[in-house]
Chain A
Amino acid sequence: MGLDKKQTVLIFSLVFFLLLGIMFCFIFLPALRQSRLLSKQIKDKRTNLTKMQTLTSEYSRLEAEIKNTREKAQLLKNRLFWEKDISRFLSELTRLASDLQIEFVSLKPESVSSLQQKEKIESQKGYLFAQVPILVVLRSNYGDLVRFLKRIEETDKFIKIESLSIESEQRDIHKHNVKMTLSIFVEEKA
């Protein structure tokens, strides 16, 4: 029983239509879904990218700030810490008083036992350092003492004035016996 032309066309069309339907369901729709997904992913990434665009400029700013802060910290560190050997401190102190009428009576670090008790070891921010007190006894007039203290306060290396005692001499009211505890900071090796 042969098929006539009309039936052949109909069957062929039906099969072709089915094939198109299958193509639509299994190829086109997944491709559309993938395209939409890709589009969404790109959009998301682009949104995040625009948010993070400022990072580059922020990084440059931070780097400059770090450089600046590191330089400042280094300057302050150099100003704060002395060498462990205090001979440089002693020579600096005598240099500061060189053209003043100041007579050093004694100039010594506090005794070993009291140093151990008083030595204030700080361990902060990764630094381990000790505060070394030095007892200075001197004789001077008031004006030169003020000038000497001003030089101590303005010198490049930091010297802390822990305590100060000024007493008038009985025999010469223009002379004063001065006793002061100066402290310096020494960086310890961790």
Chain B
Amino acid sequence: MVKVNLLSLETNKTKDAGPPITNIQWLPRALFSLSIIFFSIGVYLRVVTIYQKKGLREAIKQYEEVEAMAGKVKISKEELDKLNGELNLFDGYLKREIIWSEKLSQLCNLIPQEIWLTQLSFEKKGMGVSDLYSLSLKGSLIPQEKTSPIGTLSKFINQLKEDEAFSGDFQNLILSDSRTETKHNVEIMTFTIEMPFRKGEI
């Protein structure tokens, strides 16, 4: 069966204008859906912001605690520096540059039979500020047979020089005086050896 449109062309057109009215029917639905989406996003954002603010408050609180700790650490470091300064100060004053009991024992072992010391002194030489402490050894010697006094003295000086434990604290070894005299047909040499202290001050 064949369907025939008997309406006039105009009437037919008016009826065709129907779809736009039908088309805008989606608008309220779309807007409703959009508003639901917006509302959901809004709620989500609000919740997120609340949690973020809470998190930030906690972070700030922790940060303040840590800052207080950083302050404490700074104060502790300063205190430690001060204490280390005190420790170094005391250490410096308590340090012995020369251990005399050891030095005298070492010296005793270095003196040969033909030599005897009459005086040992360790003092600041001169009156000036820059004057150094110096060890002065005064002594006498009677050389063995077939040995010259100067040879015996030279040997003694070399022994002193070579003994690092003894002479290590001193700059050098200077023979400042030596005299030979004969008493009762025996040749005796008197001598003075100066040993400036390496560090100047004790």
Q: Which residues of A contact B (CB under 8 A)?
A: 5-6, 9-10, 12-13, 16-17, 20, 23-24, 27-28, 31-32, 34-35, 38-39, 41-42, 45-46, 48-49, 52-53, 55-56, 58-59, 62-63, 65-66, 69-70, 72-73, 76-77, 79-80, 124-125, 127, 142, 145-147, 149-150, 153, 158, 160-168, 173, 185
Contacts and interface: CB of A to CB of B under 8 A. Distances in A.
A165 B38 contact: no
B28 A12 contact: yes
Given A13-B27, A42-B59, A72-B87, 16 more contacts: A10-B24, A24-B38, A35-B45, A45-B60, A52-B69, A55-B70, A58-B73, A59-B72, A73-B87, A125-B86, A142-B104, A145-B104, A149-B100, A158-B94, A160-B202, A185-B93
Interface of B: 20-21, 24-25, 27-28, 31, 34-35, 38, 41-42, 45-46, 48-49, 52-53, 55-56, 59-60, 62-63, 66, 69-70, 72-73, 76-77, 79-80, 82-87, 89-91, 93-94, 96, 98-101, 104-105, 108, 116-124, 133, 202
16 contacts: A5-B21, A16-B31, A16-B35, A45-B63, A55-B66, A55-B70, A59-B76, A66-B76, A69-B80, A76-B94, A146-B105, A149-B100, A163-B123, A165-B120, A166-B119, A167-B120
Given A6-B24, A149-B100, A163-B123, A32 B105 contact: no
Nearest to B101: A150
Contact of B124 (A70, A79, A124, A163): A163
A173 to B, nearest CB: 8
B28 A146 contact: no
A6 B120 contact: no
A64 to B, nearest CB: 10
A76 B59 contact: no
Contacts of B31: 13, 16-17, 20
B73 A62 contact: yes
A77 B77 contact: no
Contact of A142 (B42, B70, B108): B108
A59 B72 CA distance: 7
A35 B49 contact: yes
A72 B70 CA distance: 26
Given A49-B63, A49-B66, A9 B100 contact: no
B26 to A, nearest CB: 10
Contacts of B84: 69
Contacts of A12: 28
Contact of A146 (B45, B76, B101): B101
Nearest to B120: A166
A127 B25 CA distance: 94
A73 B90 contact: yes
A28 B87 contact: no
Interface centre among B25, B83, B99 (most CB of A within 10 A): B83
Nearest to B22: A6
A20 B35 contact: yes
Contact of B90 (A6, A76, A146, A162): A76
A62 B80 contact: yes
B44 to A, nearest CB: 10
A177 B59 CA distance: 78
Q: Give me the 3 closest cross-chain CB pairs, A-B, nearest first.
A: A150-B101, A76-B90, A45-B59
